[in-house]
Amino acid sequence: MNLEMLAQLLIFLSAISCLIWAGFVTIAMIGEINRKLPEKDQISYLWGYPAKYRRINDDYRRLFPTGRSLFYGRVLTYTGFGLLVALALGWRFGVFK
């Protein structure tokens, strides 16, 4: 395995790790929100779609105005996708031969 292959692998694994940790932060946010909501209004842990994530963000911001989980989740998500874009651009423009 050469140095370029190792660099690509590390960038890819870092991106995937960031996205997995962002998922864990989202699950933690759902748990915090569900502790404060009545049973009929609680958010399910299964599936994900844009309206659900918008509700999670809105409810978390409303219930925890000084909470940092939303910030951490966004940083991890943007970092993960940024690393994937950097990897793709590196392949496209010949950084990784």
Q: For 32-89, how does the pLDDT look when each residue is reduced to its tens digit (9 = 90+)?
A: 999 999 999 999 999 989 999 999 999 999 999 999 999 999 999 999 999 999 999 9
| C-alpha to C-alpha distance for 71 and 90, rounded to whole angstroms | 28
Confidence of residue 91 (pLDDT cuts 50, 70, 90): confident
Using CA atoms, how far residue 87 sits from 9, 19, 24, 76, in Å, is 10, 15, 24, 16
The answer, as to whether pTM is greater than 0.85, is yes
